[in-house]
Structure 1
Amino acid sequence: MKQVHNATEQPTRGLAQDADDCLFDPRIRTVLSEFTLGSDTLTLEAAAAIRAASHSVERLRSRGAQGRGLSSGALDILIRLGATTGEALSIGDLARSADVSSRNVTGLVDTLEREGLAERVPDPHDRRSVLTRITPAGRGWLDTFREPVQRAMAGVFQGFTPADLTQLRHLCLRVVENQQRLEHYLAQTEDVLR
Structure 2
Amino acid sequence: MDKPTHLIEYETMLLGRHRHLDRSAYTLLSRIRTAGMMSIGQLSEAFGLDVSTLNRHTSALLRDGLAERIADPDGGIARKFRLTEAGERYLDDERTKNIRGLEKVLADWTPEEVAEFAAFLGRFNTDVERLGGRSWPRPDPASRQESGTR
1:75-114 superposed matches below 5 A = 75-84=26-35, 87-114=36-63
Q: Contact between 1:88 and 1:131, CA under 8 Å: does it hold in 2?
A: yes
Corresponding residue of 1:23: none
1:126 matched to 2:126: no
CA distance in 1, matches of 2:92, 2:121: 27
CA shift for structure 1 position 142: 1.4
Deviation per residue, 1:83-131 (Å, 9 max, x gap): 25xx42111222333343333222111010010101112234234x221
CA distance in 2, matches of 1:140, 1:46: 39
- For structure 2, the 5+ residue unaligned runs are 134-150
Corresponding residue of 1:50: 8
CA RMSD of aligned residues (A): 2.7
Deviation per residue, 1:131-174 (Å, 9 max, x gap): 11111111111122221111223345552331243134324544
Q: Contact between 1:77 and 1:98, CA under 8 Å: does it hold in 2?
A: no
- For structure 1, the 5+ residue unaligned runs are 1-27, 30-44, 66-70, 182-194
Q: Secondary structure at the match of 1:107?
A: helix
The one-letter code matched in structure 2 to 1:163 is E
With over 3 angstroms needed to count, the CA separation of the structure-2 counterparts of 1:157 and 1:172, relative to structure 1, is farther
CA distance in 2, matches of 1:130, 1:96: 15
Deviates more, 1:96-105 or 1:146-155: 96-105
1:147 matched to 2:100: no
Q: How many residues align?
A: 128
CA shift for structure 1 position 76: 0.5
Q: Alignment identity in percent? A: 24
With over 3 angstroms needed to count, the CA separation of the structure-2 counterparts of 1:122 and 1:46, relative to structure 1, is same
Provide the TM-score with structure 1 as the length reference. 0.55
Deviation per residue, 1:15-59 (Å, 9 max, x gap): xxxxxxxxxxxxx34xxxxxxxxxxxxxxx333222222222211
Corresponding residue of 2:138: none
Corresponding residue of 1:170: 123
CA distance in 2, matches of 1:122, 1:178: 32
Q: Contact between 1:57 and 1:156, CA under 8 Å: does it hold in 2?
A: no
Looking at secondary structure, tell me which structure has more strand per residue: 1
Corresponding residue of 2:142: none
CA distance in 2, matches of 1:83, 1:180: 19
CA shift for structure 1 position 179: 5.3
